[in-house]
Amino acid sequence: MKILLITMEWPPFKGGVGNYYFNLVANLTGHQVKAIQVGPSSFYKHFWPKWLKLLFEIKRHIKNDQPELIWVGQVLPVGEAVYLLKKFYKIPYFVSTHGLDIMLPQRSLRKEKIMKRVLQEAEFITANSQFTKKELLNLAIPEAKVEVIYPCPNIRQRTNNQEQIQAIRQEFNLQDKKVLLTVGRLVKRKGQEKVIQALLTLLKKFPELIYLIVGDGLEGSNLKAQVLKLGLKNKVLFLENIDDEQLPLYYQLADLFVMPTVDLAGDVEGFGIVYLEAALFGLPSVAGKNGGVMEAVIDGQTGLLVEPNNQDDLIEKISRLLTDQALYQTLSRQAQTRVDQDFIWQKQAHKLNRKIESFE
């Protein structure tokens, strides 16, 4: 089957959604998929609706590529354009959802109404977690129409380059240190601010503690200001330009992965692939008990979940995993086994294959 994927995120654009589509496409069998990335140039600047230009762009691709099925990468605005084009070209489509993309439109009655039309008209919908599926069911989408297709780690190579790891330790003075690690965009819902605050208490018990924050984003300046205000300049390191090839080194030198996500009025983590990447290297996680995170980290099995905005709980969970070596080793082993067995792109792509073939 000829499939046309229309998405706003695709490598080399950095982001989990783009990698999600890239890896699913790479592992689909029996189908010819052409991915089209749309961006700012696909929208009008001074004409409303801005996405009308996107509609004309997709129309050209439909005429040129003659797809039998369209894969909608973003329910809004891509889905709205594809929904209208279906009226003329009768080409079926399906939609992939990730959590935030179906929660934010619900803040606007107009956008929610459009989103529901797009989802209802789709042949089927993929969700990146059971949490996202539940949100779809809350929108009165039939359960049989939704298939959960999990993201998987983009890192698969467990090369243990001790020379490079040692060089990083020397560069940042990490010898004989306990290292906490967070990998993710610097936005409020990721919870980096909570970890920085917790350090004030944790350092009294673990003076050798260092916190590495990998990523960049809108909250970067606020987080750095907070570090200076709390006198933690030598205890918190910001690393903004770490590529996928370097990232495994940081997972390997870390002692614990910490990302206590919070739900900010619907701005919630739909899954959290970085927890799986950490698990791949045997790192247990301390994670927020909200959204799809509770599927990425199984409480008491692959990590410990923290009650949202509960600093005492966060401090206690981090302390426990830094001191209880038996628990740490058990969670480490179980986390690595789970990601190796369940979160494999071929396995997830097989579910998508089955769904596509069910209506061929």
pLDDT digits (tens, 9 = 90+) for 93-103: 999 999 989 99
Q: Is the model more confident about 265 or about 338?
A: 338
- For residue 268, the model assigns a pLDDT of 84
**Domain coverage including residue 94:** 2-152+344-357
Residue 230's pLDDT is 97
Alpha helices in 263-344 (DSSP H): 273-280, 293-296, 311-323, 325-342
Residues 171 and 126 in one domain: no
- Overall number of domains in the chain: 2
Residue 180 lies inside a defined structural domain of this protein = yes
CATH number of the domain that 128 lies in? 3.40.50.2000
Answer yes or no: is 128 within a domain: yes
Q: Are residues 126 and 216 in the same domain?
A: no
197 and 320, same domain (yes or no): yes
* pTM (predicted TM-score): 0.91
Question: What does pLDDT average to over the chain?
Answer: 94
Give me the pLDDT at residue 156, please: 62
- Radius of gyration in angstroms for the set of CA atoms belonging to the chain, rounded to a whole number: 22
CB 210 within 8 A of CB 177: yes
Per-residue confidence band for 267, with pLDDT thresholds at 50, 70 and 90 = confident
Mean pLDDT of 344-348: 95
Residue 230 lies in a domain: yes
- Residue 157 pLDDT exceeds 70: no
Paired strand residues for 5: 35, 71
pLDDT band at 195 (very low <50, low <70, confident <90, very high): very high
Q: Decide if pLDDT at 281 tops 90.
A: yes
| Residue 158 pLDDT greater than 70, yes or no | no
Pair (140, 255) in one structural domain = no
The mean pLDDT of 215-238, rounded to a whole number, is 96
| 339: pLDDT strictly greater than 80 | yes
> What is the reported pLDDT for 13?
77
In the DSSP assignment, the letter for residue 262 is -
My answer on whether 206 and 225 are in the same domain is yes
Q: What pLDDT score was predicted for residue 308?
A: 86
pLDDT for res 46: 87
Residues 133 and 167 in one domain: no
Sheet containing strand 209-214, strands side by side: 236-239, 209-214, 178-183, 256-259, 285-288, 303-306
* pLDDT value, residue 161: 83
Is the domain of 127 the same as that of 199? Answer: no
Same domain for 238 and 222:
yes
Residue at 348 is within a domain: yes
Q: What is the pLDDT of residue 220?
A: 96
With 90 as the cut, is the pLDDT of residue 179 above it?
A: yes
* Same domain as 352, residue 328: no
Q: How many residues are given for the chain?
A: 360
Identify which has the larger pLDDT, 157 or 49. Answer: 49
User: Quick check: 178 pLDDT over 90?
Assistant: yes
Nearest to 268 by CA among 75, 96, 106, 38: 106
Looking at 159-163, 198-202, 288-292, which range is the least confident one?
Answer: 159-163
Residue 243 or 324, more confident? 324
pLDDT over 80 at 213, yes or no: yes
Do 124 and 170 sit in the same domain of this protein? no
* Short-list 179, 165, 177, 187, CA closest to 318: 179
Residue 157 falls inside a structural domain: no
Q: Same structural domain for residues 28 and 46?
A: yes
Residue 32 has pLDDT above 80, yes or no: yes
Q: Does 360 score more than 80 pLDDT? A: no
Same domain for 95 and 60, yes or no, is yes
Element (H, E) at 6: strand 2-7
CA-based torsion, 97, 59, 54, 120: positive or negative = negative
pLDDT digits (tens, 9 = 90+) for 3-14: 999 999 998 877
Whether residue 292 contacts residue 272, with contact meaning beta carbons closer than 8 Å, is answered with yes
Percentage of the chain exceeding pLDDT 90 = 88
pLDDT surpassing 70 at residue 239? yes
- 252 touches 165 (CB < 8 A): yes
pLDDT at 12: 83
Please give the average per-residue pLDDT across 210-228, as a whole number.
Answer: 97
